[in-house]
A and B are shown apart, each in its own frame.
Chain A
Amino acid sequence: GAVVSQHPSRVICKSGTSVKIECRSLDFQATTMFWYRQFPKKSLMLMATSNEGSKATYEQGVEKDKFLINHASLTLSTLTVTSAHPEDSSFYICSALNAQGYNTGELFFGEGSRLTVL
């Protein structure tokens, strides 16, 4: 149980276009999901906390108008990179908090989505 799936796993787009990444909790309901960004050879940077039915909470320095997050249902959160530029190229990873991990804080991670902006 506690499977999180991301789609697409890889995407290549032209500069100036928008890209949507989906994150789904397949076998549990996730009221809270988190979006991380991973730079090459660096740690995971928390971008935002996504709460079902409310606006996402963004970390300092993350442009909320550029990285649009929508958490419309208990099993789906989406990250849209708007007007993407080469510097947005990165590995984006979502994670979800499952009730079974709630007391420990354990998160379940998607497979990640590698975005390449040409």
Chain B
Amino acid sequence: GNSVTQMEGPVTLSEEAFLTINCTYTATGYPSLFWYVQYPGEGLQLLLKATKADDKGSNKGFEATYRKETTSFHLEKGSVQVSDSAVYFCALSDHQAGTALIFGKGTTLSVSS
């Protein structure tokens, strides 16, 4: 079945450090891929998405490229801020009508000043 695997956290960085959170997936067909972010005490917000191979999603300085050959969708940011501290979830949708997203386990990011 479809699944998403994220790197284990927590990830602790200093402000302005480079961030990478690894995400790989298993899916039949050609899923859409997403990164969602959850700030403390809040629900999930879409951070970025990519719907086909080689697409790059980007938002708020974060980027992720849909790599079909490595079945990966790693999240990167060149210079993190304290306000980026949150839990990040990688997810996929297999495009079947009305199906839910499949989430990775989430990676907690803590950025200190």
Specify whether A and B are partners.
Answer: yes
Q: What class of interface size applies to chain A in its complex with B?
A: 20 to 34
Q: Is the CB of A105 within 8 A of B42?
A: no
Number of interface residues of B (CB under 8 A): 25
Q: Mark B94-105, 1 if CB is under 8 A from A, else 0.
A: 110111110111
Nearest chain B CB to A100 CB, angstrom units: 12
Q: How far is it, in angstroms, between the C-alpha of A105 and the C-alpha of B33 when the chains are bound?
A: 9
Q: Which of B44, B89, B93, B100 contacts A104 (CB 8 A)?
A: B93
Contact A111 B43, CB 8 Å, known A34-B100, A106-B49: yes
Q: Is the CB of A46 within 8 A of B100?
A: yes
- Chain B residue contacts of A75, Cβ below 8 A: none
Q: How far is it, in angstroms, between the C-alpha of A104 and the C-alpha of B93 when the chains are bound?
A: 7
- Chain A residue contacts of B100, Cβ below 8 A: 34, 36, 46, 49, 95, 107
- Say what secondary structure dominates the interface of chain B: loop
Q: Mark B35-64, 1 if CB is under 8 A from A, else 0.
A: 010000011111001010000000000000
Q: Is B25 an interface residue (CB 8 A)?
A: no
Q: How far is it, in angstroms, between the C-alpha of A7 and the C-alpha of B68 when the chains are bound?
A: 39
Chain A minimum-CB-distance residue to B100: A34
Q: Is the CB of B98 within 8 A of A32?
A: yes
Q: Mark B1-40, 1 if CB is under 8 A from A, else 0.
A: 0000000000000000000000000000001101010000
- Chain A residue contacts of B103, Cβ below 8 A: 43-44
Contact A106 B93, CB 8 Å, known A6-B43, A97-B98, A111-B42: yes
Interface residue ranges, B against A (CB under 8 Å): 31-32, 34, 36, 42-46, 49, 51, 89, 93-95, 97-101, 103-106, 108
3 closest A-B pairs (Cβ-Cβ)?
A: A105-B93, A43-B105, A109-B44
